[in-house]
DNA sequence: ATCGGAAGCG
DNA sequence: CGCTTCCGAT
């Protein structure tokens, strides 16, 4: 399936409503194609073993529900945060790259980023001023946060990533902090596979205290030896994400020693340690538990 | 540079 | 709804 078009791949993975995954547009590979296979490879070891295919490593998958529903106008259009993750997943050579902190990214070339975004959306007049306005709208949604003082630097709130309303989730079941998330929580106790499905605080601890490259398995193609018993874990593949120091570790087992100790302080980080505004300020009343839209917890 | 209101679009 | 466009304020 080397030469399959994006749409063919999409069809390939079309399963049930719940299992369907969609490829986030990579139909326009950049010229400066980058990053060695080693760098790009997803070697997520979360119970499913390494992810050997370069194909996967270069492809960002998003679950179907992360896109606009089919019935909406401009159906299934890429959202800005998809696009950002896509670029970030393509190595450090693009207009944006991961920053110093977990989830933080820096826009190295704002106008170029805007140009690419404009191309993707068919908005030739796009510029950084407009794009940044879109980013600012993410603040209230708690998808992004500005890293104050650092120019062109924003931060993803990964602790809120994906899940609410995941198809199969009991409708009306508001998942706030206690819900299991599809990320591996490692390494700490039990080794790398002890994961996928810890508690909220545990997740937050993992996500916010981590200072080494981490693989987010929130996008997985289906055919994996995951026990299907879990409503969520069976559906999420791996996406390589923040590599703060531009380096990548080929295997989780080779993670450097001196992983940040899990301190009590870290453990008790608020679910939104970075979120300093109150719920009201964040506009929390705007949505009910049932909406999805972004794929982020709200 | 960054923010956020306001209006508009699909 | 998720931006896009425009813009005055900081």
Tens digits of per-residue pLDDT, A230-278? 333 333 333 444 544 433 333 323 223 322 322 222 222 223 333 333 3
Give the model's pLDDT for residue A24: 28
Q: For chain A, what is the mean pLDDT?
A: 50
Structure tokens given for A246: 């531009």
- Separation between the CA of A16 and the C1’ of B10 (whole angstroms): 29
- Strand B contact at CB of residue A146, distance < 7 A: yes
- Separation between the CA of A12 and the C1’ of B9 (whole angstroms): 34
CA distance from start to end of chain A = 37
Exposed/middle/buried for A279, CB within 10 Å: 0-12, 13-18, 19+? exposed
Q: How confident is the model at residue A160 (pLDDT cuts 50, 70, 90)?
A: low
Q: What gap in Å lies between CA A85 and CA A24, rounded to an integer?
A: 10
Q: What is the pTM assigned to this prediction? A: 0.50
Q: How confident is the model at residue A67 (pLDDT cuts 50, 70, 90)?
A: very low
- Separation between the CA of A174 and the C1’ of C10 (whole angstroms): 38
What is the largest distance, in Å, between two alpha-carbon atoms of chain A?
52
Residues 6 or more apart in contact with residue A33 via CB below 8 angstroms: none
- Strand B contact at CB of residue A153, distance < 7 A: yes
- Separation between the CA of A125 and the C1’ of C4 (whole angstroms): 9
Tell me, rounded to whole angstroms, the distance of Cα A84 from its chain centroid. 9
Give the model's pLDDT for residue A275: 32
The half-sphere exposure of A76 on its side-chain side, counting CA atoms within 13 A, is 12
Q: Is the pLDDT of residue A1 over 80?
A: no
| Nucleotide nearest to A135 in CA–C1' terms | C3
Closest CA to A38 of A218, A254, A258, A259: A254
Nucleotides of B under 7 A from a protein CB: 1-6, 10
Nucleotides of C under 7 A from a protein CB: 1-7
| Nucleotide nearest to A291 in CA–C1' terms | C1
Which residue is nearest nucleotide C4, judged by alpha carbon to C1' distance?
A130
Please say whether the dihedral angle defined by the alpha carbons of residues A279, A282, A286 and A288, taken in this order, is positive or negative. negative
Q: What gap in Å lies between CA A278 and CA A233, rounded to an integer?
A: 31
Structure tokens given for A263: 């301190």
- Strand B contact at CB of residue A123, distance < 7 A: no
């Amino acid at each position: 399936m080397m030469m399959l078009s994006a749409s063919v791949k999409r069809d390939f993975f079309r399963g049930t409503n719940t299992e369907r995954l969609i490829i986030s547009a990579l139909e326009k590979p950049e010229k400066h194609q980058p990053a060695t296979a080693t760098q790009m490879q997803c070697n997520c070891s979360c119970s499913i073993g390494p992810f050997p295919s370069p194909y996967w490593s270069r492809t960002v998958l998003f679950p179907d529900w992360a896109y606009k529903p089919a019935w909406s106008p401009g159906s299934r259009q890429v959202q800005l945060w998809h696009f950002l993750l896509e670029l970030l997943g393509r190595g450090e050579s693009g207009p944006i790259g991961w920053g110093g902190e977990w989830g933080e990214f820096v826009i190295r070339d704002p106008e170029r980023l805007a140009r690419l975004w404009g191309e993707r959306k068919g908005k030739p007049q796009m510029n950084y001023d407009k794009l940044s306005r879109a980013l600012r709208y993410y603040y209230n949604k708690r998808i992004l946060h500005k890293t104050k003082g650092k120019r062109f630097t924003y931060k993803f709130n990964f602790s809120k990533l994906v899940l609410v309303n995941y198809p199969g989730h009991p409708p009306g079941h508001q998942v706030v902090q206690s819900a299991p998330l599809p990320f591996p929580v490692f390494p700490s106790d039990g080794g790398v596979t002890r994961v996928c499905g810890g508690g909220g605080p545990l997740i937050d601890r993992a996500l916010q205290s981590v200072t080494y490259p981490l693989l987010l398995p929130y996008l997985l193609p289906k055919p994996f030896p995951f026990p299907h018993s879990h409503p969520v874990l069976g559906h999420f593949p791996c996406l390589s994400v923040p590599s703060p120091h531009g380096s990548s570790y080929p295997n989780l087992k080779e993670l450097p020693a001196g992983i940040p100790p899990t301190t009590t302080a870290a453990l008790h980080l608020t679910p939104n340690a970075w979120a300093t505004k109150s719920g009201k300020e964040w506009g929390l009343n705007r949505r009910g538990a049932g909406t999805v839209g972004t794929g982020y917890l709200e």
